[in-house]
Amino acid sequence: MAVYLDHNASTPLHPEVLEEMMPFLQVAHGNASSLHQSGRFLRSAIETARQRVAELVNCAEQDVIFTSGGTEANNLAIKGFVEAGEATCVLSSAIEHPSVLQPLHQMEKTGTSYHVMPVTSEGVIHMEQSESLIRQHMPQLISLQLANNETGVIQPVQPLGRLGHEISGALVHTDATQGIGKIEVDMQQLDVDMMTLSAHKFQGPQGVGALIVKRASVKLNSALISGGPQESTYRAGTENVAMLVGFGKAAQLARINLRDRQSTLLELRRKFERHLSDFAGVFVFGSGAERLPNTSYFSIPYYHGETLLMQLDKAGFELASGSACHSEVTLPSHVLSAMGIQEDLALNAVRVSFGVDNTPQQIDKLIDTLNRLINQIPAAMRQAVC
């Protein structure tokens, strides 16, 4: 069986999550909008899931809007706010996920101005330049990811959001999909107005997520999907109860033993990067910044990233070359380009993202495999670029 090292793309379903979902796949039936007993049972299960998600990020239950995942939640946050007439100017960063960048480009075509916050060479949003942009453009919405999906670099959401609140009265949205289960995520401490979650990033099922919206301060336009009154009219359609139940259980589990999980993941990353540093010329992106404990994004200067991925896949190791949503694109990562990384180095980028089921022994085997693959490259070629 292959060693899975791509947990930022998606995580394995937790056995307890599957167990809790099974009755809703096998026995429970009906429509959660129905008034009969079966309908009321399903409605209760949905509200239990909503409560668990709310507890996960410390928000009010009524502020949880269930969606089909992080992409829909990001679209709802941006398009819903802009189309409600609440924003003529939006600020975001150059390293956001495509599900934020693409809606912003679409809104720009409708007359909404969109400005990009730059990042440092370590992949952190530049505080001083971003403050200057806030003062210059006075945005109504600022959208910033909590942690980058490629580099794992944690972003200064709270201080930048506070500047937005104080300077222009901007509302703040954060895509927190990569943070849950790896670092503490508290909506009140972050002081944000909207937050995106995705269940499959923390051992929940794929195809379900949420947009957390502070109803008291945020006005969104009508739903992206129109129809019935589900999710307070923000998302029409009969609810996928089994997926929501799984989401809720994963949220409950993500709160348990978080510090121990962080410590385990950090030890795996440190061990990997300690051995990785023995290879001449290897570069770890964002290594000087605070990162998610499970993420290492590196480049071997004489080994094309996609080629290395295929060789590792043949050897039984599953890694990634950056965003899973761009796995077929051969252009350099937009994240690394924003960091000012040279194209030849960026094209060699490979990401390891560990999970709690990974072991030190698997890291030893991965390092041995990398060593074997690298030694197959002629010495003259390796020495020429080191």
Is residue 382 scored above 60 in pLDDT?
no
187-236 tens-digit pLDDT:
999 999 999 999 999 999 999 999 999 987 888 886 788 888 888 888 88
Mean pLDDT calculated for residue range 357-383: 85
What's the mean per-residue pLDDT of the chain?
A: 93
The pLDDT confidence band at residue 324, using thresholds 50, 70 and 90, is very low
HEC sequence for the chain: CCEECECCCCCCCCHHHHHHHHHHHHCCCCCCCCCCHHHHHHHHHHHHHHHHHHHHHCCCHHHEEEECCHHHHHHHHHHHHHHCCCCCEEEEECCCCHHHHHHHHHHHHCCCEEEEECECCCCCECHHHHHHHHHHHCCCEEEEECECCCCCEECCHHHHHHHHHHHHCCEEEEECCCCCCCCCCCHHHHCCCEEEEEHHHHCCCCCCEEEEECCCCCCCCCCCCCCCCHHHHCCCCCCCHHHHHHHHHHHHHHCCCHHHHHHHHHHHHHHHHHHHCCCCCCEECCCCCCECCCEEEEECCCCCHHHHHHHHHHCCEECECCCHHHCCCCCCCHHHHHCCCCHHHHCCEEEEECCCCCCHHHHHHHHHHHHHHHHCCCHHHHHHCC
Mean pLDDT calculated for residue range 266-295: 96
- Of the listed ranges 26-40, 332-346, 358-372, the least confidently predicted one is 26-40
All domains of the chain, ordered by start, with CATH? 3-10+257-384 (3.90.1150.10), 15-254 (3.40.640.10)
Q: Given this model, what pLDDT does residue 323 score?
A: 41
* Predicted TM-score (pTM) of this structure: 0.94
Q: Given this model, what pLDDT does residue 240 score?
A: 95
Cα 134 to chain centroid, rounded: 24
Catalytic (active-site) positions: 325
- Of the listed ranges 14-23, 81-90, 293-302, the least confidently predicted one is 81-90
